[in-house]
Amino acid sequence: MKDITDQIAENELIVVGRLVDASNATLQAHLKGSDPKIKVIYKPVAGERPLWDFEDGNLAHREYAAFLISDRAGFDLVPHTVLREGPFGFGMVQQWIEIDESVDVVEYGQSDNSQLRSLALFDAIINNTDRKFGHLLLDRNGKLRACDHGVCFHQEDKLRTVLWQFSDLNFSPQECKLIDQVEALNLEDLLSNLLTKLEIAAIRVRIRDLKLSMKFPLPSDQWPAVPWPPV
């Protein structure tokens, strides 16, 4: 039997609805023939809104790049993600996470949970310009995952996040290990079809700076440090 990654990549997508609050076309679907039924999020490139500071038609590629780093470096934060064709054209398809509805995500997102620390580090590495509370996906087992990574990896420092509670704290040994694991990746081969050479080089620079400081970054005073709206 095919594993979930293969099914997300190969099974026919059956679109059942749209997330109306999303700024880009974000469709909920399930995979035909999957048992039990596997739900996914499908973001066709044709539904991406142009942004002044990111290349047109490239947000899905950035979502996939974020998954690759999360997966290959051991963060295990981004749900299974692929790039593929769908009923509305080529786009990003990502495993749907059933969240624990009893959790107040804003309250949780302001805590000192160790999984949030890993996510804050991940965002610093990928230069996330839009980390909101609504992007935190905490399942019923207490496992944290995160979504919406289309506006990451810009070559200029643009970190905007709601997870500033760890600013200026020293990295733990495990966090240092995660940084080393990203550094050990062949980012040029892994991401060459997804990001520009300058954007890949900027990841190396951010890793270098994090290893020099050995601390979580502080908010910038040169641009808004928190996305709006924060949820």
Partners of 161 in the beta sheet? 131
Give the mean model confidence (pLDDT) for residues 218-231. 91
Omega before 87 cis (within 30°)? no
Predicted confidence (pLDDT) at residue 81 exceeds the cutoff of 70: yes
All structural domains of the chain with their residue ranges: 4-213
Distance CA(221)–CA(230), nearest Å, equals: 18
Give the mean model confidence (pLDDT) for residues 30-44. 92
What is the CATH code of the structural domain delimited by 4-213?
1.10.510
- Residue-level pLDDT at 1: 55
Count of CA atoms in the C-beta half-sphere (13 A) of 73: 31
End-to-end alpha-carbon separation of the chain, Å? Answer: 39
Q: Measuring CA to CA, how many Å separate 10 from each of 2, 3, 31, 34, 222?
A: 10, 11, 9, 11, 44
DSSP class of residue 216 equals P
Lowest mean pLDDT among 31-35, 163-167, 207-211: 31-35
What global pTM score does this model have? Answer: 0.96
